[in-house]
A and B are shown apart, each in its own frame.
Chain A
Amino acid sequence: MGKVMLEVKNLKTKYITRFGEDVYSVDGVSLKIEEGKSLGIAGESGCGKSTLALSMMGYYFAPLHYTSGDIIIDGKNISGMDPDKVRTTILGSEIAYIPQAAMNALNPTMKIIRFIEDVIHAHNPKASKKEIRELAEERFAELGLGKEVLDRHAVELSGGMKQRTVIAVSTILSPKVLIADEPSSALDVTSQKMVIRMMRELMEKGYIKSMMFITHELPLLYNVTDDIAVMYAGQLVEYGTAKEMVFDPIHPYSHGLMGSILVPEEGTRGMNLTAIPGTPPNLKRPPQGCRFAERCKYAKPECFYTAPAERMFGENGTRMHRCLMSEDQLRDIYSKENGGAQA
């Protein structure tokens, strides 16, 4: 068991709408990332994946508000910290964040080296330009980007190059945690592969200690991260290692998600895709019972008024699911369904 790099305990954050209503987008999320490990977060749009990322950085600007819970980065509790202080002391050096359209974040009038100067000066105003250039050249060469990129403008780079440049710039201070929010979904498969390879290099060379990867593309998560957590309507519904989650999903929602994976492999063509009908609940008035009950095929009457708690299971109790039924009951249902389809 490695050192815990990032720990989140029962985090709750909310958005306040113009009409004064509270929307709890992250509602009681607890998770842990150990040193050298990566965690993937899957879920459909609007389930709170990106809000979770923003909340974990302590980056609270209206309309996002912190409510309760702890965020501990390498032993240091940053929950409830002033966001401006977070920006100068935490972002970049402790946690780095890559948004989906990171390539649009580059100011077209500035050379790449200027962004790096910006990042370093925010934390260490006394760093000299020469030092910064040396560090940047070394880091870019190690990551296979080439020194010449430093003196280019953003418009001279292709989409994949821009994305990789942004990753290199944001991790220049060797942060402990890298949060990547759909870093490759706007890219071609080939550029995506290069982005992923670069993130793996960052981990292997120790420039980042741990990583959280957010995407809705499950085959990608399976190949990139050690663990996968599935999020639904502001809560984690299941958690386990990548292999367990893809081949043995327990919660009906993750079961549905895993049933919709499409890969160019033999056997995909004859597959029955699992469609999950309906839309996620409105978080302004979250349902009283299980949040997935309305869309769940297996929902029983009690699901609509009893909210399920997190239930740990598995060999060492490392897996979690949030369903009223036990894992064995659910496995039974799925195997019966498969048997029925084959017969």
Chain B
Amino acid sequence: MSEMDTKVQGSAQPEVQEAAPSENKPKRDFTTGPLCLSGRGVTRVFGTGDKKKVAVDHVDFDFHEGEFVSIVGESGSGKTTLSKMLLGLLNVSEGEILFQGKPRDISTRAKKNEYWKGIQAIFQDPFASYNTFHKIDAVLLDCINMRGGKHLPYEKKVEMMTEACSFVNLKFAELTNKYPFELSGGQMQRLMIARIFLLKPKILLADEPTSMVDACSRATILDMLLSLRDEIGMTIIFITHDIGLAYYISDTVYIMEHGKFVEFGKADEVILNPKAPYTKRLISDVPKIHEPWDLDTVVEELA
């Protein structure tokens, strides 16, 4: 019991860190750690014959432990298909995904559940991420049970939930007996991060978690993700279409076009010196503050 106590107290520190999370950000280089998730020739094909559509086309990637990776692309580029394959929600048509250096095996339900202890996700739409019939306590209790805390006394569980909520600036006492739909979008998304805090997975896959919240709550959520990374040391795979956001937050950026990675590398290299024409186009199409926005050169879209 005493061990548990010290652990809880020890990890209550991020509250203090949160005030200035960006100060300790560029301390460590996360791009050279041990491999966490990698893919070799990962492909996904939808349909057959004339209707065959290759959504993800032989992509290779290496995500390291503790790395903040962004996958940037426009809609229809295959970002979401790739993320579903990473999560094991979609089968891989060709190629393989390696989890911590070993080929991933999710052939049975039990193995899948085991894999999901290592990888978790936050989705775009917080309103669609919760079961409307479950209270917030139930959502968080589920996470504790999943981490093997099923037989802990209830007070201990409450303590853990309170800690997780205070990590994301929510008050657990106010949340008990509430249903998810009684919260605002930003609060719901923060509660999602509280879930991740309790689950402590190896990998977090965040699929546009900030596109449905406001600019000022966005800053809070991004800072929380960064401090969560520093706290648990997990890999974060951040899927977005906002190249400015990807540049701000990530160590490594992968640019995706029509199911292929056209460019990848360290954020500074990719964004400030783009090589691929697609990356150049993406960057030039985004409105900027210090440079003029060139409206005249537009690649005509297909009608």
Contact = CB atoms under 8 A, between A and B. Distances in A.
B184 A272 contact: no
A343 interface: no
Contacts of A299: none
B45 interface: no
A193 interface: yes
B288 A263 contact: yes
Interface of A: 44-45, 146, 149, 157-158, 160-161, 188-194, 196-197, 200, 216-220, 222-224, 246, 256-257, 259-266, 268-277, 279
Contacts of B296: 197
A273 B219 contact: yes
Contacts of A191: 301
28 contacts: A188-B241, A189-B243, A189-B282, A190-B74, A190-B281, A190-B299, A191-B301, A192-B285, A193-B295, A196-B295, A197-B295, A200-B295, A216-B215, A218-B215, A246-B289, A259-B219, A260-B215, A262-B247, A262-B248, A263-B244, A263-B287, A263-B288, A265-B244, A268-B244, A269-B268, A275-B223, A276-B216, A277-B169
Contacts of B128: none
Contact of A189 (B186, B187, B216, B285): B285
Contacts of B216: 44, 256-257, 260, 274-276
Contacts of B298: 190, 193-194, 197
A223 B287 CA distance: 7
A188 B26 CA distance: 31
A57 to B, nearest CB: 25
B174 interface: no
Given A189-B285, A268-B244, A161 B215 contact: no
B219 A275 contact: yes
Interface in B192-248: 214-220, 222-223, 241-248
Of B185, B245, B248, B271, chain A has the most CB atoms within 10 Å of the CB of B248
Contacts of A146: 303
Nearest to B245: A262
Contacts of A157: 303
Contact of B302 (A158, A224, A268): A158
A269 to B, nearest CB: 6
B168 to A, nearest CB: 11
A44 B248 contact: no
B22 A219 contact: no
Contact of A273 (B214, B223, B271, B286): B223
A216 B217 CA distance: 12
A273 B241 contact: no
Interface of B: 22, 26, 74-75, 169, 184-187, 214-220, 222-223, 241-248, 267-268, 271-272, 281-283, 285-291, 293, 295-296, 298-299, 301-303
Nearest to A185: B211
A194 to B, nearest CB: 6
B248 A220 contact: no
B287 A262 contact: no
Given A263-B244, A279-B184, A269 B267 contact: yes
Contacts of B286: 189, 219, 263-264
A219 B288 contact: yes
Nearest to A196: B295
B88 to A, nearest CB: 28
5 interchain residue pairs of minimum CB distance: A273-B219, A44-B214, A276-B216, A262-B244, A275-B219
A149 B303 CA distance: 9
Of A160, A220, A224, A263, chain B has the most CB atoms within 10 Å of the CB of A263
Contact of A158 (B214, B285, B293, B303): B303
Contacts of B268: 269
B272 A266 contact: yes
A265 B223 CA distance: 20
B246 to A, nearest CB: 8
Given A158-B303, A218-B215, A263-B244, 7 more contacts: A158-B302, A160-B301, A190-B298, A216-B215, A257-B215, A260-B219, A264-B283
Contacts of A268: 244, 247-248
Contacts of B217: 44, 275-276
Contacts of B303: 146, 149, 157-158, 161
Contacts of B75: 188
A260 B218 contact: yes
Contacts of B246: 264
Nearest to A159: B75
Given A45-B214, A271-B248, A189 B301 contact: no
Contacts of A272: 22
Given A190-B298, A264-B283, A277 B244 contact: no
A200 B89 CA distance: 44
Nearest to B72: A264
Contacts of A219: 244, 286-289
Nearest to B224: A275
B301 A265 contact: no
B299 to A, nearest CB: 6
A264 B243 contact: yes
Nearest to A262: B244
A44 B216 CA distance: 8
A217 B244 CA distance: 12
Contact of B242 (A223, A262, A276): A262
A224 B289 CA distance: 11
